[in-house]
Structure 1
Amino acid sequence: MAVPLAQSAIYPSLKDKTVVVTGGAEGIAAATVELFCRQGSKVIFFDISGTSADSLIKQIKQHQAEVNALPWTIPSFYYCDVTNLEQLRETAENVLKEHGTVDVLVNSAAAAGAKSRVPSVKVTPESWEFDINVNLRHVFFLTQRIVPAMQKQGRGSIINMGSISWRIPAVGTPVYMAAKAAIMGLTKTHSKEFGNEGVRVNSVMPGAIATERQIKEVLTKEYREEVMRNQTVKRDLVPQEVASVILFLASDDSSGVTGSSYVVDGGWVSDV
């Protein structure tokens, strides 16, 4: 099982670091925001759900109020639709103006909703564009906006959220899987492009993770049976288990790691 929050790892190198997390109000990204706040990082998260953002901030404030020697910080929420490139650009510029730089960028915003769940023969130009915009395009363009600040300071860590879905391979979400496969290629080329200036780029590829949304929309009895047949670890995986890997890749403890893709799937995929 996931390590209890109070016992999870502390990375001194993350204290006071400025961290940006996209799609940070729910799921794996919300768990990531929470763990960074526990490190004492200055956390900024983008999302379109103000209600979920408020709930997350309230939860973190409760942690802060508990008897705990660790310096919990409270994250800042920026409303941002990552599929709107102009809004994404303006939000990134506001972050840089207000905070000076970004030390860690976690590109985690993604979706595989009803629009994505169609076979290839039913994909339209409009549905293709939606899936690419929400799962891939913003990763490139937000990185493009943020990375010069990292290059200027000679350090930075970028973590892109992939998926094992294309590696299984699954069916029914072809454009989503194409976008997630592209994340690996983008990660590798950016690690080479930015590495000489101290910027590391890695990706994390989750398997079936029991987020609230997954439990409501995806983890049917039949699908969960499929998951248990394929996973070596015979239990539900939770968001914190993915967030813990993201935290490691953001910290100086992983200073020699770049261009890599870490799989968190309970043993479903044997190799990458």
Structure 2
Amino acid sequence: MTEPMATFHDLSGKSVFITGGGAGIGAFLTDGFMAQGAKVGFVGRSDATAFCDEMEAKHGVRPLFIQCDITDIEALKAAMDKCAEAHGTITALVNNAANDKRHDTLDVDEEFWDWSQSINLKAYFFACQHAIAGMKSVGGGAIINFTSISYMMGNTGYPAYTTANSGINGMTRSLAREFGADRIRVNALAPGWVLTDKQKEMWVTPEALEEHMKRQCLQDTLDPQDVVGATLFLASDTSKMMTGQAMVVDGGVVVTG
């Protein structure tokens, strides 16, 4: 874990809820928000006790971890309620948890399709829905929905996942329009190839990385902290007039606009 490069003073004391906040990019997000003084609650399928111990030792306070499968919508809502009870109304929601399991189009059956959408899109919608009710009651909030550049690139190998990625952007824009009058901002964040431990273990080969780097304008690999900074910015009032947008952090692989 690295230290934040910028301070967003308004995040201090803010109640933040992160899905998948105990591993991968999510762990860096939890660390990043805690470094800003935010009160962080997060969910994950795997036990995160050791990670919470690490965060408590580092920051002097402990994040609230609730073990939860986000495809169980009622359990997800209950976890969000528990976070709100402990830290105050959630005013920053980060939908980060996802599963990009590789698959071939002709092998996909209804069960796999429904499983993929339940993780990568359905849980996002219902987390947004549940958070919005509380945000309206306190005069606003910020939602950051993680998507990916995979669908923008037209990548093969995980069509159910890229379909959900694209859907996240449509959902983000619709919610931003619907709840803008309530001062609730909803933005999407699309990382490029961030070299997490999982990526290094499963997908990163010298050949694949070399080929991908040819597509980047900036010839440095992406670190999780690059995504953390963008997320903090979108959660902060520093971006108070940004909503309905898709921010790309990929070193210049794809273009928007």
Give the TM-score category using the shorter length.
over 0.9
Kindly tell me the number of residue pairs found equivalent between the two proteins. Answer: 257
SS of the equivalent of 2:90 reads coil
1:184 aligns with 2:169: yes
TM-score of the pair, normalised by structure 1: 0.90
- Aligned counterparts of 2:85 and 2:38: Cα–Cα separation in 1: 18
In the TM superposition, what are the counterparts of 1:47-62 in structure 2 within 5 Å? 47-50=44-47, 53-62=48-57
Letter in 1 for 2:140: R
SS of the equivalent of 2:31 reads helix
Correspondence for 2:178: 193
Query: 1:145-203: CA deviations, max 9, x gaps?
Result: 11111011111000000100000011010000000011110110000011100100001
- Aligned counterparts of 1:271 and 1:95: Cα–Cα separation in 2: 35
Conservation of the 8 A alpha-carbon contact between 1:37 and 1:74: no
Query: 1:89-130: CA deviations, max 9, x gaps?
Result: 2222323334341010000110112xxx22211111011011
Correspondence for 1:41: 38
Conservation of the 8 A alpha-carbon contact between 1:203 and 1:261: yes
Conservation of the 8 A alpha-carbon contact between 2:186 and 2:243: yes
- Aligned counterparts of 1:20 and 1:29: Cα–Cα separation in 2: 11
Task: Mark the runs of 5 or more structure 1 residues left unpaired by the alignment.
Answer: 65-71
Correspondence for 2:70: 82
SS of the equivalent of 1:16 reads coil
SS of the equivalent of 2:112 reads helix
Moved over 6 A (4+): none
Correspondence for 1:236: 221
Correspondence for 2:14: 17
Correspondence for 1:156: 141
Correspondence for 1:142: 127
- Percent identity among equivalent residues? 36
Task: Mark the runs of 5 or more structure 2 residues left unpaired by the alignment.
Answer: none
Conservation of the 8 A alpha-carbon contact between 1:22 and 1:106: yes
SS of the equivalent of 2:152 reads coil
SS of the equivalent of 1:242 reads helix
Correspondence for 2:158: 173
TM-score of the pair, normalised by structure 2: 0.95
